[in-house]
Amino acid sequence: MSGSGPAAGQEWSPEDYACHAGFVPALGAEVLALLAPRPGLRVLDLGCGDGALTARIAAAGAEAVGLEPDAAMVAAAEARGLRVIRADAHDPFPEGGFDAVFSNAALHWMRDPPRVLANVFAALRPGGRLVAEQGGFGNVAAVVTALNAAREAAGLSPLRVWDFPSPTLQRTRLEAAGFEVETLTLIPRPTPLPTGMAGWLATFAAPFTRDAAPVTAGALLADAERRLAALHDPAEGWVADYVRLRFAARRPG
């Protein structure tokens, strides 16, 4: 495993993720359709988490293998009967020759995108595809602003935790890695939060609170939630300002 801390900047609880963020794999239908899994296709699910979408790839008849660094998430995926490689995507993948690499809501957690894309390219057979969806430019911009405002109010420096590239930047990265871009779309998607902003922050915002002393992590997140009142609708409840970047690219050959 690379680095001394958690690979995504935080550790995961599969139970909390399913409770507070089950909408993430539930909203993966369109990127899954772009992959079009079928029998005879060998697919690596990059950052597979608890394997919710990996299982759907396998159910379509494809040979599905997950890659995930978090031990708890690996265990949850294996409990579904899936094969998962525990590895960090910043390291060369232990296996190659895949027909496709698929990824949903994982690439924006990876701190060195060019390095990850180079590893994906190497893991694909000639003609293989990368099909992915991640946070795109402007994703949860209000949430990030509120978290950093809360940090500054507590005497802490602002952070840039996630990678939310524009279509232009991501195309440049993909082409630099050797890919031919087939499709690349930025999609605004306001997203209702089933357990509110507090549940979302508790699930995803740990990197903003790891150095939270002298304030507590809870106090910092409560301050951020207070600053986000504009994202609460009296009828709809809490709605996050999601923007997704969905793309498919091919390794020539």
pTM above 0.95, yes or no: no
Decide if domain 14-140+161-193+242-250 falls under CATH 3.40.50.150. yes
Alpha-carbon distance of 32 to 241, in angstroms, equals 22
pLDDT per residue as tens digits for the range 63-84: 999 999 999 999 999 999 999 9
- The residue extents of the domains of the chain are 14-140+161-193+242-250
pLDDT in tens, 215-232: 899 999 999 999 999 999
Q: Could you tell me which of 56, 140, 131, 147 has the C-alpha nearest to residue 98?
A: 131
Q: pLDDT over 70 for what percent of the chain?
A: 89
**pLDDT 10s digits, 160-212:** 999 999 999 999 999 999 999 999 999 999 999 999 999 999 999 999 998 98
Task: List, for residues 137-149, the tens digit of each pLDDT value.
Answer: 999 999 999 999 9
- Going by pLDDT thresholds of 50, 70 and 90, the confidence category of residue 129 is very high
Q: CA angle 138-141-143, nearest 5°?
A: 150
Q: Are 12 and 70 in contact (CB under 8 A)?
A: yes
Q: Which two tokens stand for residue 35?
A: 């992959």
State residue 11's pLDDT score.
72
Residues 199-209 as b/e (b if ≥16 CB within 10 A, e otherwise) read: bbbbbbbbbbb
Q: What is the mean pLDDT of residues 31-52?
A: 96
**Calpha distance 133→191 (Å, rounded):** 15
For every residue of 138-175, DSSP letters joined together read TTTHHHHHHHHHHHHHTT------S----HHHHHHHHH
Query: Which pLDDT score is estimated for 7?
Result: 53
Select the more confidently predicted residue: 19 or 153. Answer: 153
Determine phi and psi for 85, rounding to 5 degrees.
-90, 120
Work out whether strand 232-233 and strand 83-86 pair parallel, antiparallel, or are unpaired: unpaired
E-assigned strand segments in 79-123: 83-86, 98-104
Residue given tokens 């690219």 in the structure block? 249
Q: Which residues contact 220 (CB under 8 A, 6 or more apart)?
A: 147, 150, 151, 154, 208, 209, 212
